[in-house]
Structure 1
Amino acid sequence: MKNEQKIKSREEIEQNYKWQINKIYKNDSLWEEDFSKLKNLVPKLSTYEGKLKHGEELLSFFKLDEEIGRLAEKLHIYAHCRADEDTSNTKYQSLWSKIVSFVPQINGEKAFFLPEILSLEEDHLLREVKRVPGLELYTFVVENILSLKPHTLSKGEEKILASVSDTLEAPANIFNMLSNADMTFPKVKDEEGEEVELSDKNYSIYITSKDRDVRREAFKTLFSTYEKFKNTLATSLTSSMKAFIFTSQMRGYSSSLESSLKPNNIPVEVYHKTVETINNNLSALHRYVSLKKKMLKLDEIHMYDLYVPIIDTPDIKVAYEEGVELIRKGLAPLGKEYLSVFNEGIEEGWVDVYENKGKRGGAYSTGSYDTMPYILLNYHNKVNDVSTLAHEMGHSIHSYYSKTAQPYVYSNYTLFCAEVASITNECILIDYLIKNEKDKMKKLYFINTELEQIRTTVFRQVMFAEFEMLAQGKLEEGIPLTSEELCDLWHNLNVKYFGPEMIVDKEIDMEWARIPHFYYNFYVYQYATGYAAANSFAEKILKGEEGALESYISFLKSGGSDYPINILKKSGVDMTTSKPMEETIKRFNELLTMLEENLR
């Protein structure tokens, strides 16, 4: 209760620590005026149905669609941020619900657009794009739509697919209900010997405990509970995968993997190359396991020992202003221009700094084309909070550059590029902290922090990606997968990834059952590729390579003006090769050597 009483109300937080949302709308009445304007504009979209073969009409449609999109995003950001300031404030929850529930109406009014564009003669459409002044801006948009023509069905078939979408999504909904609502876990003992109820959410507290009995019990309790539902969970996961395979086959893709990657023009080889490169370098992860076993002074290292910190988190208090200054120093290699944008963000009220009663937890970066970026933090004066601010600022500055350099239609970057800027900031900052820390234990902590980032974001996510690839592959071949077969597949991957010194406990065989990302279809590999691309940018900048900083800023300014692979390649990072991933593994090995040297 004491901690709860210390949390301030929203009104008690000083103004200079709050984001300046009133720069979007000075009051709610102005928001309501714009919402009424939006409602009046949206029906005009459907008036263009049947007219898009004329270039002038197509250009008018694009302009109206942009006006509506920009207005809707501005309304959404204001309502979303206001609602998150205090989730108990029903006024802003209602405002947010209002705009969110209106979005389907916008999509409904323009549902004719894609089918109509795809029904037009390709040569005619491209001639119109060139003929009409102003329409050439949309060349990449049109070409991108046309590239998916072979995978777009007839109007009737598309209608059938749309009508069964709820059914196809049912396995994921069943998993969410089972894991979040219906499953309960037995009690376990904490470090004080008190009984506490285990949950998926608090599991991380106990699996990182210094008390081995606590983490062992939590590990066995969690996964033995999942095992009780193994047949249901196996059915929900394989049904989800089969649904995706069905949709992929209906659309004429050669595989479900291709159907996931092709819309962003990412070659299937990028996925395979990522898995292959990690498989060829698993000795680095085996080395880490061996070092961890030694540092924890264990006769045997088990899966439940994997998350316990080998270096205790130092009790470093870092006030917000100190954290900001630390980031300024750490990110100095990114140049004066980048730091001036960072300073603008701090001074102009991008950041909502401290926790208050009812405020949404966690951290994120948001914003729209017609607003400045906004960052939600819950800063608690911890050293990790500094890294979080640097991470979110990476997203926000990426968005700032994108919208400043690109027209609205190309201002949003894809998921494949989304984490690159944020992780580049983290890589450069942690490098600064490692190099400049004089205290031995703090230096060891920073080294281990970066090691854990690579282990969890690269090695772990690629293992997930390999599991997806193998499981989907078997199902595509018509080979059924039972819970036992999924467990065997997961067990064997853990044996391979963690190496000969790790005791792969049977309980871990059920871990596949609690990963929600497996219902997103070939999503997780992007965490690993994003980290590898970020590490490559950071390495080049820190080494002072000629043109490296300019290439990175060019990447930040590219938005969605080209396919993500092309954007990265033009900026000097070729994700079709194994080089970025190999450089990340090289960094991992360098950090292991640093750890060993600093322990002597």
Structure 2
Amino acid sequence: MTTYTSRTEIPDHEKWNLTHIYPHHDAWKEDFNQVVSDIHTLGSYNDNIHNAEQFYGFLSEQEALMQRYTKLYVFAMLQNDEDTRQSSSQTLLDQVQQLGVKISSATSFFMPYLLELEEETLKRYIEEVPALQYFEKDLLESYRYKTHVLTKEKEEVLSQLGDALASPKTTFGMINNADIVFGDVTNENGEKVPLTRGMFAKIMESADRDKRKEAYKAYYKPYVQMKNTIASTLSSAVKNNVTLAKMRNYPSALEKALFGDNVPVSVYENLIETTKKNIEPLHRYMKVRKEKLGVEELRAYDLSAPLVKDVREDISYEEAYQTMLESLKPLGDEYITQLKAFKDAGVIDVRETPGKRSGAYNIGLYGVHPYVLLNHRDNLDSLFTLAHEMGHCMHSHYSSLYQPRISASYSIFVAEVASTVNEVLLIHHLLDTTTDKKMRKHLLNHFIDQFKGTFFTQVMFAEFEKTVHEKVENGESLNAEVFNEMYEKLFRTYNGDDLVFEEEVKFGWSRIPHFYRPFYVYKYATGYVSAIHIAERLLKGDSETLEAYLTFLQSGSSEYPLDLLKATGVDLLSPEPVESAMKTFARLVDEFGEE
């Protein structure tokens, strides 16, 4: 694997090209100044929309402004992520984020105004100005929120309180990213050194059990020490969610969170109940893991240890891209042709360099093209990350190609489907083409662990969130002891009796950033089972599923998420997709457990 010390060393075809957004900084500044001016124009519509022409004027100018603002934001974000150490990029991103707050404030009057407007008046406006048909579906959708939007004055107050209401999340972010100091671990030279997050992930995959235990204890040490402070931030976040739900007339915080996607509570409850009814294969996997590791007691620090040793994982980026293309052939020639074209088109930022944002992501930009960030490391994980992010990339591409701007962005509820379909097709391709028994075991183990992390763990988190919010809604208090008790009980239920508990396990709740974004994690699980369902039918050569799936990728947010998935044959109102995924998991565990 080549190590780069600077972006200048990387060939151009392995870097994204931001000149596709703005040819130079002066063009960015020009658009920035235009948005500043347009904010004033939008604000002047407050109390001044009295007819169809003015109504259309506000909506069309708002959309033009948001298209321009999105370009500004994406450019600033991508440039900052190239090298997060650059103060000039940080300044650019900060400026555009402040601009976003001003836009929100200037337009906060519109929703209360719209919902005071009689539906008959709105329909008359649309007849008078036919161009309003472009906005019609979204406008009528807004009436669903009628009982949940407050008066103009109250909405303005809530808009101004945004930073204060977000403070528990901000505070936890500062604790978790800036202030946490982990304990010490022993390095290769026998010296004690401070543990870092990057080191922790690597050590937990080490074959040395003593090192894993030492790192596990060191990692949890500050969370245990700060349990009361973190419990306070999480408790405040939950209380804020419950209070806002009450203020906006929702029956519960959960129903508020599900309302935007028009998802009934039964989908959330069905996910948890069906998973727990079919949990036995996960318990069986814990038994298999214990046997494969040859330990008397399976501990929490054994859950990421390698079960198959000495497997070749040297996969160059070129080889990874070619393997991905081969694996995705069930998606058809057009899909593969577009994927090939993206490789050298300034879309993907491939290599890891000092200061570059870690991890990987895709972001769609309407009117330009998607952008994908990678930190490719020439191994199996990087191959899967590539397939995952290019799934998102193709979803963004197709949605932008086939939808108008207003419906081109897809909901987070369906966001993980395209990425996971790609990963499932890839794992099946690798399993079908490898002749090495050891590699096959390694791939099976990779699939099982991915399934565990993306599905079972997220369902457990979803149940934890539901329980803690219900406690506050029932007038009960939350503190570290309450969180510990709930988390430990759930961890035991999901992971079974073969796992011997460390004292630290019960503090797992204290390190999860997603708990500050209410009822979000369940979407990983529903997306995962949906993808398994679709991919397994694609692998059977089902032409109807292929056509339906490509239509799904082209649909953006033109329909509610459940309806989009139902058109592909996935009905999340029923237990069937979850049960089907559980059967797949059971088969994987059975094969992996064979000698």
- TM exceeds 0.5? yes
Which of these residues, 221, 239, 243, is aligned with residue 242 of structure 1?
Answer: 239
- Say yes or no: does 1:183 pair with 2:180: yes
When the two chains are superposed, the root-mean-square deviation of aligned CA atoms in Å is: 2.1
Distance 1:156 1:411 in 2: 32
Alpha-carbon spacing, 1:485–1:27, altered in 2? closer, same or farther (3 Å): closer
Q: What is the aligned partner in structure 1 of residue 195 from structure 2?
A: 198
1:54 aligns with 2:62: no
Larger deviation, residues 48-57 vs 583-592: 48-57
Structure 1: how far apart are the matches of 2:29 and 2:223?
47
Whole-angstrom CA distance in 1 between matches of 2:222 and 2:98: 37
Moved more, 260-269 or 476-485: 476-485
Aligned match of 2:386: 389
Judge conservation of contact 1:363–1:392 (CA < 8 Å) in 2.
yes
Aligned residue in 2 for 1:398? 395
For 1:390-445, what per-residue CA distance to the aligned partner results, in whole angstroms no more than 9, with x for missing partners? 11111111011101111111111111111111111111111101111111221111
**Is 2:354 the partner of 1:352?**
no
Contact 2:113 2:152 in 1 (8 A): no
Aligned counterparts, 1:457-496, within 5 A? 457-496=454-493
Residues in 1 aligned to 2:382 and 2:520: alpha-carbon distance in whole angstroms: 27
Q: Is the 8 A contact 2:182 2:221 kept in 1?
A: no
Q: Helix, strand or coil: the match of 1:371?
A: coil
Say whether residues 1:417 and 2:414 are aligned partners.
yes
1:251 aligns with 2:237: no
Task: Identify which range, 330-339 or 301-310, moves more after superposition.
Answer: 301-310
- Residue matched to 1:23: 20
Give 1:163 deviation, angstroms. 4.2
Equivalences for residues 363-382 of structure 1 within 5 A? 363-382=360-379
Structure 1 position 174, deviation (Å): 3.0
The SS at the match of 1:188 is strand
1:145 aligns with 2:122: no
Mark the CA change 1:224 to 1:469 in structure 2 (over 3 Å): closer, same or farther: same
Q: 1:556 and 2:553 equivalent?
A: yes
Distance 2:139 2:357 in 1: 39
Matches of 1:311 and 1:319 in 2, distance apart? 22
* Worse overlay, 334-343 or 6-15: 6-15
TM superposition shift of 1:14 = 1.5
- Tell me which amino acid in the other structure corresponds to 2:358: G
Asked if the contact 1:129/1:138 (under 8 Å) is kept, the reply is no
Distance 2:231 2:84 in 1: 36
Query: 2:111 touches 2:149 (CA, 8 Å); kept in 1?
Result: no
Aligned counterpart, 2:321: 324
Q: 1:51 to 1:125 in 2, by over 3 A?
A: farther
Partner of 2:151 in structure 1?
154
Q: Which of the residues 445, 448, 470 maps onto 1:448?
A: 445
Closer, same or farther: CA 381–223 of 1 in aligned 2, 3 Å: closer
* Deviates further, 477-486 or 495-504: 477-486
Deviations 1:250-296 (A, max 9, x none): 11111111011112211111110110111111101101101101111
Q: What's the counterpart of residue 516 of structure 1?
A: 513
Measured against aligned partners, the alpha-carbon deviations of 1:77-118 in whole angstroms (never above 9, x if no partner) come to: 233223322334444444333333322222232222112111
1:480-519 residue CA offsets vs partner (Å, 9 max, x unmatched): 2332222111111111111122212222111111112111
Partner of 1:291: 288
SS at match of 1:19: coil
Task: Quote the offset at 1:307 in angstroms.
Answer: 1.7
Does residue 437 (structure 1) correspond to residue 434 (structure 2)? The answer is yes
Corresponding residue for 1:45? 42
Structure 2 equivalent of residue 87 of structure 1:
84
Give the match for residue 100 of structure 1.
97
**2:125 aligned to 123, 128, 132, which one?**
128
Q: Is the 8 A contact 1:248 1:255 kept in 2?
A: yes
Instruction: Out of 330-339 and 379-388, give the one that drifted further.
Output: 379-388
The 8 Å contact of residues 191 and 211 in structure 1, kept in 2 or not, is answered as no
Query: Which of 109, 120, 133 matches 1:112?
Result: 109
Q: How many residues align?
A: 595
Among residues 525, 536, 546, which one is paired with 2:522 in the alignment?
Answer: 525
Partners of 1:215 and 1:304 within 8 A in 2: yes
Distance in 1 (alpha carbons) for counterparts of 2:479 and 2:85? 44
Gaps of 5+ in 1: none
Paired residue type of 2:328: L
Residues 354 and 173 from structure 1, CA distance in 2 versus in 1: closer, same or farther, beyond 3 angstroms?
Answer: closer
Partner residue, 1:171:
168
1:341 to partner: Cα distance: 1.4
Q: 2:219 aligns with which of 211, 219, 222?
A: 222
Q: Name the stretch that deviates more: 465-474 or 19-28.
A: 19-28
CA–CA distance in structure 2, aligned partners of residues 192 and 535 of structure 1: 45
1:501 to 494, 498, 506: 498
Residue 70 of structure 2 corresponds to residue 73 of structure 1: yes
Contact 1:302 1:502 in 2 (8 A): yes
Cα 1:416–1:313 shift into 2, 3 Å: farther
The answer to whether the 8 Å contact 2:369/2:397 transfers is: yes
Counterparts of 1:273 and 1:105, CA distance in 2: 41
Q: Structure 2 matches for 1:573-592, cutoff 5 A?
A: 573-592=570-589
In the aligned structure 1, how far is the partner of 2:384 from the partner of 2:3? 24
Structure 2: distance between partners of 1:227 and 1:233: 9
Q: Is 2:271 aligned against 1:274? A: yes
* Paired residue type of 1:297: G
- Would the aligned equivalents of 2:417 and 2:531 in 1 still touch at CA under 8 Å? yes
Cα 1:110/1:15, change in 2 over 3 Å: same
For 2:227 and 2:336, the matched residues in 1 are separated by 51
Q: Which amino acid aligns with 2:592?
A: L
Q: 1:516 to 1:547 in 2, by over 3 A?
A: same
Q: Report the alpha carbon displacement of residue 245 of structure 1 after superposing the two structures with TM.
A: 0.7
Give the direction of change, closer, same or farther, for the CA distance of 1:178–1:12 in structure 2 (3 Å limit).
closer
Decide whether aligned partners of structure 1 residues 86 and 186 sit closer, same or farther in structure 2, where only a CA change above 3 A counts: closer
For residue 595 of structure 1, what is the aligned residue in structure 2? 592
Whether the 8 Å CA contact 1:491–1:506 is kept in 2: the answer is no
CA distance in 2, matches of 1:246, 1:363: 35
Residue 337 (1) aligns with residue 334 (2): yes
Gaps of 5+ in 2: none
Question: Could you say if the C-alpha distance between residues 352 and 548 of structure 1 is closer, same or farther in structure 2, counting changes exceeding 3 Å?
Answer: same
- Aligned-partner residue type, residue 240 of structure 2: A
Change (3 A) 1:480 1:563: same
SS in structure 1 of the partner of residue 362 of structure 2: strand
**8 Å Cα contact 1:171/1:237 also seen in 2:** yes
Separation in 2, partners of 1:53, 1:448: 63
1:51–1:58 CA contact under 8 A, matched in 2? no
